[in-house]
Chain A
Amino acid sequence: QSVLTQPPSVSGAPGQRVTISCTGSSSNIGAGYDVHWYQQIPGTAPKVLIYGDTNRPSGVPARFSGSKSGTSASLAITGLQAEDEADYYCQSYDSSLSGSVFGGGTRLTVL
């Protein structure tokens, strides 16, 4: 059972918009700690997609965006492309655990 809760799977057709939620608690996201998002293509290492709730590293397309409110955060992907098919993970810090925590991951399928 992950500290941060994500839906196991989402799907969308090419060109559509999808969102992936990440729900935490008052000791992590709700405490104001940053939320970060990673993309992992099967068989490869994770890659940071969004950091500090809403920031994109250079090279990450603007189709990817992040938001946060209360004890939850979301990753939005617009203009879905076949290459976006991957696993997505949220990550934050938990003050009760004194360490980083991940969501359970969401598998994105492009129909």
Chain B
Amino acid sequence: QVQLVESGGGVVQPGRSLRLSCAASGFTFSNYGLHWVRQAPGKGLEWVAVIWYEGINKDYGDSVKGRFTISRDNSKNTMYLQMNSLRVEDTALYYCARARGDSSGYFDFWGQGTPVTVSS
């Protein structure tokens, strides 16, 4: 069965960096795009970034562009999110989700999320 397991979250000071991981199993990893979606405490869902197949094509939400970098290692069935210059407003639960279809497609499987708290 499809499983997505996020890790790497924690408490970090503003301006510092953190790297999240999303380990996948139960499907052919390189055949799917993968997204990061975040949810601030008590707030709604916000799309963060997407990476496709071999990792060449990527897109980012405006709020993280230039600070976050999405990547993947198909040999390890793992996706990453390198978060630099973290801000208090980046505090959220970060989900990884599998893409179904193309850019306008939907997220058919989600992990349980890893929490990130940015605070001094």
Contact = CB atoms under 8 A, between A and B. Distances in A.
Interface string B58-70: 0111100000000
Contacts, number: 65
Given A36-B106, A48-B107, A93-B103, 6 more contacts: A34-B101, A45-B112, A51-B108, A99-B61, A101-B47, A105-B45
B120 interface: no
Interface in A28-68: 33-34, 36, 38, 40, 44-48, 51-52, 57
B113 A45 contact: yes
Task: Classify the secondary structure of A's interface with B.
Answer: strand
A99 B50 contact: yes
Contacts of B113: 45
Contacts of A40: 45
A92 interface: yes
Contact of A34 (B35, B106, B111): B106
B44 A105 contact: yes
